[in-house]
Amino acid sequence: QKEVEQDPGPLSVPEGAIVSLNCTYSNSAFQYFMWYRQYSRKGPELLMYTYSSGNKEDGRFTAQVDKSSKYISLFIRDSQPSDSATYLCAMSRGSQGNLIFGKGTKLSVKP
Amino acid sequence: EPEVTQTPSHQVTQMGQEVILRCVPISNHLYFYWYRQILGQKVEFLVSFYNNEISEKSEIFDDQFSVERPDGSNFTLKIRSTKLEDSAMYFCASSEFGTGGNTIYFGEGSWLTVV
């Protein structure tokens, strides 16, 4: 079983839709969970960072972590064409910057 | 907004040649990292660096790789004898603190093509 699994998509939604992106993981030692956005041939840009289980909201973005199910989610409300990008989940055991990434889900928001 | 800058943005090199990728981390950051992303694959951790020494490295970071902070602003990744499979986007990253998943900022990447 891969350490972090993420559906690569592609996922296409109409503008204004609610988007749900998910990752599962196998290592119960992960404590820190992040979502990055990556545009083509660019560096990952941090969107959300969550420690342990729970929810975190930032504007149109909500991150959820369910450690009991080893499942994390990112919700995007009122999606915009500018949200079109690849979304990467990443997690860490707490070591020095060794982030384990998912493969990324490519999202396209159509006007 | 402060950013991590990387040079070159793209480099083509012949197999067996040495390559140095350069990075200027965010100025008040103390922890530095290199990641790579082979086309179509995951972003993978290579190495973390703090207080002028490697604090963690992955299996990918073998003897052909080395990192250095030659002065107060630059952070470099050297690949001694490049192989075809080293072709990838290499990302430099930095963070203010090292523990946990604190905010790690990535540069735009250096695309390395080995021919």
Residue of B nearest to A106 (CA): B40
pLDDT of residue A97: 74
Question: What mean pLDDT do residues B42-60 have?
Answer: 93
Give B41 to chain A, closest Cα distance, Å.
Answer: 6
pLDDT at B12: 98
Tell me which residue has tokens 């075809």.
B84
Rounded to whole angstroms, the Cα distance separating B5 from B17 reads: 24
Residue B100 banded pLDDT, cuts 50, 70, 90? low
Look at B106 and A103 and tell me if their CB atoms are within 8 Å. Answer: no
Radius of gyration of chain B (CA): 13
Contacts for A40 with CB less than 8 Å, ≥ 6 apart: A86
CB contact under 8 A, B42 and A96: no
At B71, list the tokens. Answer: 């002065």
What does chain A come to in residues?
111
**A51: nearest CB among B45, B50, B100:** B100
Mean pLDDT over A68-78 rounds to 96
pLDDT at A67: 93
Q: Is B35 exposed, middle or buried (0-12, 13-18, 19+ CB in 10 A)?
A: buried
- Give the whole-number percent of chain A exceeding pLDDT 70: 97
3-state secondary structure of A40: coil
Residue A19: the pLDDT is 97
CA nearest B25: which of B79, B90, B106? B106
pLDDT on residue A96: 60
